[in-house]
Amino acid sequence: MKKLVVLMALGTALAGCDNASEPLAFTPEMASFSNEFDFDPLRGPVKAFTQTLVNDKGEVSKRVAGSLSAEGCFDTLEMHDLDASTSVSLVLDANYYRDAETLQQKIKLQGKCQLAELPAAGIVWETDDNGFVVAAHGKEMEVKYRYDSEGYPLGKTTVAAGQHLAVTATPSKDKRKKLDYTAMSSLNDKPVGSVKQTCDYDRHNNPLSCEMVIKDERATPAVTRKYTIENSIDYY
């Protein structure tokens, strides 16, 4: 009995140490890609993932899927917006992402796997000293991206055609629940919408499933839509 009590105490102590450990930060690639391509960032040794956005009718609205190398580079990335009937599938080839079907070079990379240039649109991305994409420039547009101290994307500001669109995210103060957030969108300093999300998490502090409420203030009266996000994540 004494041995059992000691083992239980040891297990509790170890669990306490594990809970006290800091969660992993978001890598520059994961944070930058999620900020640019509008999906939830993940942390830790992610090998592959799928994020599926489902509306309140049970219909799939959007799906994002990716696979990553052990170093954290995106080997593939698929983005399907079923509501808009658009689809993009990218595959890494040296310092370019190619269209998976046509093999056309789509995105030029800097370093091993960070965004550098979208040649067809004349867009160039800039990174900071830590490797995070912090700006994008085109002929008639400019984007600035923001992150917190852990690399979590805090939104972006886009200026194009005389319009100023800002998205600002505020994550939970609990570092293990960064994907519990609220986000506000404004156009020319006028509020146009908001998002509130809450999630269940796995042991890597990544979301397993989430509930999302989107409020569109451009409509009169404002329109509220509810979604669920179903995540599938494989780790190394």
Flag whether the pTM goes above 0.85. Answer: yes
Please write the tens of the pLDDT for every residue from 76-103.
Answer: 999 999 999 999 999 999 999 999 999 9
24-235 carries CATH number 2.40.160? yes
Q: What is the pLDDT of residue 18?
A: 44
Please write the tens of the pLDDT for every residue from 1-15.
Answer: 444 333 333 343 334
β pairing state of 133-137 and 123-127? antiparallel
pLDDT band at 21 (very low <50, low <70, confident <90, very high): confident
- Residue 110 makes CB contacts below 8 A (sequence gap 6+) with 95, 116, 125, 127
Residue 64 has pLDDT above 80, yes or no: yes
Cβ atoms of residues 156 and 136 within 8 Å? no
Residue extents of the structural domains in the chain? 24-235
Cβ atoms of residues 80 and 91 within 8 Å? no
